[in-house]
């Protein structure tokens, strides 16, 4: 008997990638329903009671009729969807956290939810270091000046140049999969790496990085990069008071989540000269409103929440979700379960 699977891809983790990855894991006795969600052509947002989702509950409900397994990156798993789709047993999400799933409701309905930790860690780590370099060397600003016909020698003035990574102290707030790779890359540049993360020990860091508390990290670091998850404790963890104790002329980078940072405080620090530069891939509101100070404050470098975008990230997301489908169909324990349900073939 065939197991019906919904491949709910988007324009990054495509439906074809999901189907191909599953067929490598489970070549027989499966059939597919397909749905393509509008992300990233249309920004993700809140759908029902879940965040960072794409598409609508009704279109997902229609596609899930008679389906036992759903693999996706952005589809919304809500109470409404779960109630309307009684055949669903596994919802495998190809992203680092299952923010688009109502886990409590999924558990009540007997649906196992999995996720894909680390699938974009290399891409995000590389982008983070690129943002550090872009801010330190003013690459976007000087590029823009050249495009407009300006050759500005004043960028070479002592007070206008930034630091090198070699020999600089770089502070990483958070040391998960991405923070670890950023530390490794920075080691190749010859930077001195400090880490603040209450969930790791010095032994976890190994050679080349030093675990410190947050005030010490901020006081010593010429570059500070955020890599924490958003929790009640970390929301707004970097604000005016924390930025004020950083060395004058520092650089602040956030490629994690907008909720970690008070952006007005960071922009104030840029205007006062407390910060030399700031580089952001994430924001308090996405897309950025046309009236935002982010668009007019000098020294800000921005990318539109794409630090994790690489072909390998999409391929990893598909492969990790497909692996969970294979485990489910073989009756094995799921590796990245997000809720207490233990899925098994019925």
The pLDDT, as a whole number, for residue 343 is 54
Helices (H) and strands (E) in the chain, counts: 12, 14
Burial class (CB in 10 A: 0-12, 13-18, 19+), 177: middle
The pLDDT, as a whole number, for residue 265 is 98
Residue among 87, 65, 59, 340 nearest 76 (CA): 59
Ordered DSSP codes for 12-59? SS-HHHHHHHHHHH--SSEEEEEEE--TTTS--EEETTEEEE-S-HHH
The pLDDT, as a whole number, for residue 342 is 60
Residues of the chain with pLDDT under 50: 345-346
Domain boundaries, the chain: 3-119+310-330, 121-302
Pairing of strands 169-173, 112-114: unpaired
**Residue 301 in 3-state DSSP?**
strand
Report the topology of domain 3-119+310-330.
Rossmann fold (3.40.50)
Count other C-beta atoms under 10 Å from residue 22's C-beta: 26
CATH, range 121-302: 3.40.50.720
The pLDDT, as a whole number, for residue 346 is 46
Residue among 314, 279, 304, 272 nearest 122 (CA): 314
Q: Which two tokens stand for residue 120?
A: 């974009």
**Residue 88 in 3-state DSSP?**
coil
Q: Return d(Cα 134, Cα 281) in angstroms, integer.
A: 13
Q: Return d(Cα 99, Cα 248) in angstroms, integer.
A: 37
Active site residues: 257, 286, 305
Q: Which two tokens stand for residue 180?
A: 């670890």
The pLDDT, as a whole number, for residue 206 is 76
Burial class (CB in 10 A: 0-12, 13-18, 19+), 56: middle
Across 288-303, b (16+ Cβ under 10 Å) vs e yields beeeebbeebebbbbb
Alpha helices in the chain (DSSP H): 15-25, 57-63, 79-84, 103-108, 121-136, 139-147, 177-189, 202-205, 214-220, 240-244, 263-272, 311-330
Fold identical between 3-119+310-330 and 121-302? yes
């Amino acid at each position: 008997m065939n197991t019906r699977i919904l491949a709910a891809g988007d324009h990054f983790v495509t439906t074809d990638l999901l189907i191909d990855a599953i067929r490598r894991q489970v070549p027989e006795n499966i059939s597919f329903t397909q749905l393509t969600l509008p992300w990233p052509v249309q920004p993700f947002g809140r759908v029902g009671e879940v965040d960072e989702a794409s598409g609508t509950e009704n279109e997902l409900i229609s596609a899930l009729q008679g389906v036992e397994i759903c693999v996706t990156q952005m589809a919304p798993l809500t109470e409404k969807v779960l109630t309307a789709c009684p055949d669903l047993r596994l919802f495998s999400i190809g992203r680092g956290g299952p923010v688009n799933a109502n886990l409590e409701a999924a558990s009540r309905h007997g649906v196992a939810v999995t996720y894909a930790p680390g699938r974009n860690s290399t891409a995000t780590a590389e982008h983070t270091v690129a943002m550090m370099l872009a801010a330190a060397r003013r690459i976007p600003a000087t590029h823009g000046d050249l495009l407009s016909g300006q050759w500005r020698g004043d960028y070479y003035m002592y007070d206008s140049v930034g630091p090198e990574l070699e020999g600089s102290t770089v502070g990483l707030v958070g040391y998960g999969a991405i923070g670890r790779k950023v530390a490794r890359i920075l080691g190749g540049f010859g930077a001195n790496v400090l880490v603040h993360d209450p969930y790791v020990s010095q032994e976890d860091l190994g050679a080349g990085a030093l675990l410190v508390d947050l005030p010490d990290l901020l006081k010593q670091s010429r570059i500070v990069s955020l890599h924490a998850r958003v929790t009640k404790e970390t929301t707004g963890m970097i604000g005016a008071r924390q930025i004020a104790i950083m060395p004058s002329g520092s650089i602040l980078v956030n490629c994690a989540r907008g909720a970690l940072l008070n952006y007005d405080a960071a922009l104030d620090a840029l205007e006062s000269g407390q910060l030399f530069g700031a580089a952001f891939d994430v924001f308090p509101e996405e897309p950025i409103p046309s009236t935002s100070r982010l668009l007019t404050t000098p020294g800000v470098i921005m990318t539109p929440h794409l630090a994790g975008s690489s072909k390998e990230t999409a391929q990893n997301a598909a492969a990790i979700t497909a692996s969970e489908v294979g485990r489910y169909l073989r009756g094995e324990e799921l590796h990245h379960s997000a809720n207490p349900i233990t899925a098994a073939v019925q």
